[in-house]
Amino acid sequence: MSAFIDRITGSQVGGATERSIRLSLSFIRLGPVIILLLLVLAMTLLSPVFLTGANISNVVVQTSVLAVLAIGQLFVILVAGIDLSVGSVLGLSTVTGAIVYTATSGAGGLLALLVILLTGVVFGFINGFLYVKGKMPHPFIPTLASLYAARGLALVISDGRPIPGMSPIVVFLGSGYIGPIPMPVVVVAVLAALAIIVTRRLKWGRWVYAVGGDKEAARRTGIPVDRVLISVFVISGLMAGFAGVLTAGRTDAGFPTAGELSELTAIAAVIIGGASFFGGRGTVINVIVGALIIGVIQNGLNLLNVNVYYQLVATGVIVVVAVELDVLRRRLEQRFRTLQAREA
Amino acid sequence: METEQAQMPRDENGDPILEIRDLTKRFGATLALNNVSLTLGRNEVLALLGDNGAGKSTLIKCLSGVHEPDEGQIFVDGDEVHITSPMQARSLGVETVYQDLALFDNLDVVGNFYAGREPTTPGWLGNWGWVKDKDMIREADELMSRLEINLPGADVETGLMSGGQRQAVASARAMAFGRKIVILDEPTSALGARESRNVLRLIQDAPGHGVSVIVISHNLEHIMQVADRAVVLRQGNVVGEAEPNQENHERLVSMIVGGADEPEVDEPSEAPDEDSTNDG
């Protein structure tokens, strides 16, 4: 970000129009952070309870499942894809975890955790494999199929009922504390840090952005496009598994209906976080900010005793704003190109 | 001693960097290339001229590994090669810049230069290693100043650049990694006069950096500015070659349009239309 601001003030900038376009572009990049700050400011002014330690901790814990799903979703959206299955996979993973824990009680603490994560990985791989090797026209299709199939499986193997009892490790991760810090926050922080490393510092992460920028160009430069595509779905599935860990840990049970519609909230968080649906653009930090925006809206409107249904309306409005900002970005870039050509 | 002496002239200007012998390529019943032979000298800029459908694109696609020729031989640096894939062409030092440029608009100049070949450390981690950003930025800056290309900066996304700047990035990427031969397909066709000039200078300077160039263009004015030699294709055949200059202008035009079997025949009525649009 600072490099970008340096460039705005840099000497190579031509006319005033160019400067203002660059300024607008950097403003758009900061958009999610600005929206979050404005929301926090508004809620603080409207409710004396909002900016208290207990409430902030509340917001962050409530947002943790969404944040984890959104991190996974970001990888898929970076390659211009979409993963509709994560909510159902989350639900199924809590059920498989609960069943394994019940069946192997005592010895199965760690095993349950691994099974929850593995459920996510398996479905992620199936999604990616069907999309790439099954030559499906868009990731929408295989992940829609998984949305139904995973939910159905969860209901079948649980007989449609919650399965009580969950491994202590999972319960600790979902509702424990390290000192004053809730474990879900630690989990989100660790996963976010890993995701930041992958997207910013690893070759594989660079390839995700390249594939999202232009698949054909990526193929020609020798990037293994198919493997990159499959890998992002595996990452998204793994994140659905972690979201399942947090959910099962908080509820101390496997819920076949857990995570319903959460795939859409996760997509909303990524889009609100400024990632481009056209692919190739988006950062982990902004996606976390996007999840927090949704969390603050929900929490704030609850505190203000606003009808719950207005939360949905507010989220919808912010999604539109975020996507229009992305459209505006593309138009500004087009203007900028034209100016550059005239100057050259 | 003797072998060293024998190699010296070869490295200077002995063997051509690229030689094509009797290349033939058919698509079904269509004969796209018919016994095409040509050479590209070391540090030479060779223009490939011809009307649409003359076989220029097929020829460069055979060199860049997109098509495999049906018959004929290709020699790079005196060694016969069988180019079966774009990756292999690249590993032989043959880099092609197509008209679509294959740039990543969401990546900066550095990202575009290194996409798919980012240096990482430590090596044993392979694709999971850390990207050496500082090295990449330093080398990209060096490259940009060596090639004297004028860009807003190494950390600016190519999506923010003009057509000429984008062409410069794609060409510079090819020249940096092509090492031996860079093939440019219509590098100036989408550019205005001023932007064309920058790209043409880049082509002109390529031999100074040890890169030999094959350039395809419809613009004879531009060819005359940068190319040492022009080879003309028509209907899959090499119909002649000439040094591209004002004296040979009409001769080249008549070879391209193929008004007669005799290339020397003047067809003055055709000539003025060819380049009248160019004000560069």
| Mean predicted confidence (pLDDT) in B76-80 | 91
Low-confidence ranges of chain A (pLDDT < 50): 1-13
DSSP annotation of A220: H
For the cut 90, the answer to whether the pLDDT of residue B199 exceeds it is: no
Mutate to test the interface with B, among A221, A283, A331, A339 (most CBs of B within 10 A): A221
Measured between CB atoms, does A282 come within 8 Å of chain B? no
What is the gyration radius of the CA atoms in chain A, in angstroms? 21
Instruction: Check B129 against A212: CB less than 8 A apart.
Output: no
Contact at CB, B107 and A213, closer than 8 angstroms: yes
Q: Using an 8 Å Cβ cutoff, are A86 and A65 in contact? A: no
Rounded to two decimals, what is the model's pTM? 0.84
Q: Would you report the helix, strand and coil content of chain B in percent, each value rounded to 5?
A: 40, 25, 35
Instruction: Give me the DSSP letters along A250-274.
Output: HHTEE-TTTTTTHHHHHHHHHHHTT
Chain A residues closer than 8 Å to B152 by CB = 7, 12, 340
The answer to whether residue A277 neighbours chain B at the CB level (below 8 Å) is: no
Q: What is residue A206's predicted lDDT score, i.e. its pLDDT?
A: 94
Name the residue facing B104 among A210, A222, A337 (closest C-beta): A210
Instruction: Quote the tokens at residue A308.
Output: 């719950």
| Helix/strand/coil for B149 | coil
From residue A339, give the alpha-carbon distance in Å to each of A25, A83, B160, B161, B280: 15, 38, 10, 9, 20
Helical residues (DSSP H) of chain A, grouped into ranges: 2-9, 16-46, 53-78, 86-103, 109-132, 140-158, 168-175, 183-201, 203-213, 215-220, 225-251, 262-272, 284-303, 308-343
Question: Looking at the predicted structure, is the pLDDT value of residue B79 above 50?
Answer: yes
Task: Determine the residue among B66, B127, B167, B177 to mutate to test chain A binding: the one whose Cβ has the most chain A Cβ atoms within 10 Å.
Answer: B127
Q: Is A336 part of the contact surface with chain B (CB cutoff 8 Å)?
A: yes
Contacts of B104 in chain A (CB under 8 A): 209-210, 213-214, 217-218, 280
Least trusted range by pLDDT, from A104-113, B34-43, B46-55, B74-83: A104-113
Q: Which long-range contacts (CB under 8 A, 24 or more apart) does A45-49 make?
A: A46/A300, A46/A303, A46/A304, A47/A300, A47/A303, A47/A304, A49/A303
> Looking at the predicted structure, is the pLDDT value of residue B259 above 70?
no
Please report the number of interchain residue pairs, chain A to chain B, with beta-carbon separation below 8 angstroms: 104
**Interface with chain A: mutation pick from B113, B160, B198, highest number of A CBs within 10 Å:** B160
- In the prediction, which pLDDT does A7 show? 46
Q: Which residue of B has its CA nearest to A276?
A: B106
Output the CA torsion A176→A179→A185→A186 (10° steps).
Answer: -90
Q: What is the pLDDT of residue A29?
A: 80
* Nearest CA distance, A17 vs chain B (angstrom): 14
pLDDT of residue A14: 54
What is the distance between the alpha carbons of residues A265 and A86, in angstroms, rounded to a whole number?
11
Q: Find chain B residues with C-beta within 8 A of A7's C-beta.
A: 152-153, 155-156
For residue B162, which residues of chain A lie inside 8 Å, CB to CB? 337-338, 340-344
A2 part of contact set with chain B, CB < 8 Å:
no
Determine the pLDDT at residue B1: 36
Pick the residue from chain B with its C-alpha nearest to A223.
B116
Residues B44-58: b if buried by 16+ CB within 10 A, e if exposed: bbbbbbbeeebbbbb
* Closest-CA residue of chain B to A279: B106
Nearest-CA distance A33 → chain B (Å): 21
- Stated length of chain A: 344
Min Cα separation A133/chain B (Å): 21
For residue B86, give the nearest of A204, A212, A220 by CB distance: A220
Dihedral of alpha carbons B123, B127, B132, B136, sign: positive
| pLDDT for position B178 | 65
Residues of B in contact with A3 (CB under 8 A): 155
- Residue B76: its pLDDT value, please? 92
Looking at residue B9, its pLDDT comes to 36
Lowest mean pLDDT among A207-221, A225-239, B216-230, B261-275: B261-275
Query: What is the pLDDT at residue A309?
Result: 86
Measured in angstroms, the CA of B159 and the nearest CA of chain A are apart by: 7
Range of weakest confidence among A183-187, A194-198, B77-81, B266-270:
B266-270
Chain B: give the shortest CA distance to residue A198, in Å: 9
Q: Which pLDDT belongs to residue B14?
A: 65
In DSSP notation, B84-118 reads: -SHHHHHHTTEEEE-TTTT--TTSBHHHHHHTT--
Element (H, E) at B63: helix B56-63
Q: Which residues of A touch B115 (CB under 8 A)?
A: 206-207, 210, 217-218, 221, 223
Average pLDDT over residues B85-112: 88
Q: Check CB contact under 8 Å for A210 and B86.
A: no
CA B82 to CA B63: how far, in whole Å?
9
Q: What is the pLDDT of residues B9-39, one digit of tens each?
A: 334 456 789 999 999 999 988 899 999 999 9
Greater model confidence, A31 or B212: B212
pLDDT at A2 (0 to 100): 40
Q: What confidence score (pLDDT) does residue A246 get? A: 97
